[in-house]
Chain A
Amino acid sequence: MMAAQAAPAARPILEVAGISLAFGGVRALTDVSFQVPEGSITAVIGPNGAGKTSLFNTISGFYRPQAGQISFAGESLAGVRAPERAARGLARTFQNIALFRGMTVLDNIKLGRHAHLRTGVLDALFYWGRAQKEELALRAEIEERIIDFLEIQHIRNASVATLSYGLQKRVELARALAMRPRILMLDEPVAGMNREETEDMARFILDVKEEWGVTILMVEHDMGMVMDISDHVVVLNFGQVIASGTPREVQGNEAVIAAYLGSGDVGELSRRIKAEAV
């Protein structure tokens, strides 16, 4: 297993090369390069404000980088706008849940498929032929594949505004899955979840990768989960890549420990606090 990862056999589905992004004076990303092998789980970690979300936003086309290239499935994304990128299979979830609060769970998920549907205004006004056929097919697929898979049948007609945090995150995942992703970008999928819920989410992520064959790129601060399930880790600090490799390699990297991981030992923290208190 170590050998396979040392020389990634799978071709990269996503290649980020020399990306730089600045907001006025703030340099969010500086010359960031890395690759995401097809079929892998790749994690991006790094301190708060390191630029992880900005990186995601750049990849999905929300920000335009000042320099650098991103290519997806062998094609450059230069000049491709966000909606078109989504249509090509770049799906994502958001750090601060971005569900559409005026819609039901079902409609939120259906919305994910938007770019793959063809209904035009006229079709829609009369709800003839294509519009109707498309809607029904979509409904069936979502019910049978996504809702079933994520175990959210019971809330499909609920309005998302009333759901608990954990369920909202699950609906976000469902919506991203409805986008027919080739790569799924998850921004802090388990933030704010307790151990048990984190385990559920980890299970879904692994299943998506294995059963659906979708490549995963995720940002996460929960080191327990990141180190356990990812194949490949990229570490950002102040907008720069300071390390990358297998979880084990990264965990041992001095720079990463200093900038991000800290002692990583709760027992030590607790001892130190007790000692200080005395």
Chain B
Amino acid sequence: IHAGIQDYLKILNDGGGIKGRKIKYVAEDTAYKVDASVAAFNKITSQEKVSLYYGDSTGFSKTINPELERRGTMIMAGASFATELNDPKKYPLQFMAGPDYTEMFGILLRYIAKEKPGARVAFVYSDTEFGRDPIVPGEAVAKELKLTVVEKIVTPPGSVDVSTEVLKLRRANPDFTIFHGYVLAPIPEFVTQAKQMGMKSQFMGTFWTMDNSTVQRMGDAADGFMGVMPYRYYYDKDGTSPMLEKIRQMRTEYQSTGYLQGFVTAMLMAEAVKRTLDAGKELTGANLKAGLNSIKDFDTGGLFGVPISIPGNSVPVGRIYRFDSKAKQMLPASDWIKL
């Protein structure tokens, strides 16, 4: 993420900045701990005049929100796609550069409903805030789309042995299984054991599982693994994407989806700044957010496959990709789905 932000700002600043203003970027590490993040926030904001802030965890985004509103001088985006944050009333000065977790589920379920109407779906998620986030709304969406959720399986955080959970999954015999709340483990073992048992279910994942290198690390289990991704992959060749070309020039080896997230976030933030300045307004949080929300059918240089709009705090767009074990790449399996 760090590298992505850095690179976009480099492109921007090398190109003369926004209306002659350069953007200064200050980074702090926080170890995903709320108090460390708050400390970093205080430190940075007491030393610099900040307009754009990128924070990490959901916890931090929630913690800092009142402070953000109080200051009213900046907008913030974060690594979290938590559903709760996608509420412009509660979090007026925040946004995320992609769909929230529930929207990701929505995209997946829509795809499923189209492929196999009335399919049986199972959710497998970790017992964390991250894992639980989209489960209840996801179920509602499934119902709307006339899909049956046959099983919801919770795994304790950090668990490695999932044999019993796989047994449960086999009993439920779903057509599609969606994993959420994990990066890698225990998905591979889950899939391997399920395949050994002769299950035919299609396995799917959400953003943080979907990086190419992560899926590759699933080994045999990766074959055919699907998931939702709002951005194009680094190597994605279909369609035109001048921005991706630029990235490929700057960095010759594969860049992760996290990099892209950082990159896109920086881009959207810069766009908000530009629009605010264009309107001749001061760079306050509310103005910046208004600038951001005025984005309609905006072309991200092809990073999102379609022009995007930001109606609220999120960018509810994504596409289903499927892992091809011969190409060792995620290949598109659907069109861009806009919610």
A and B in direct contact, judged by CB atoms within 8 A: no
**Chain A interface (Cβ < 8 Å from any Cβ of B):** none
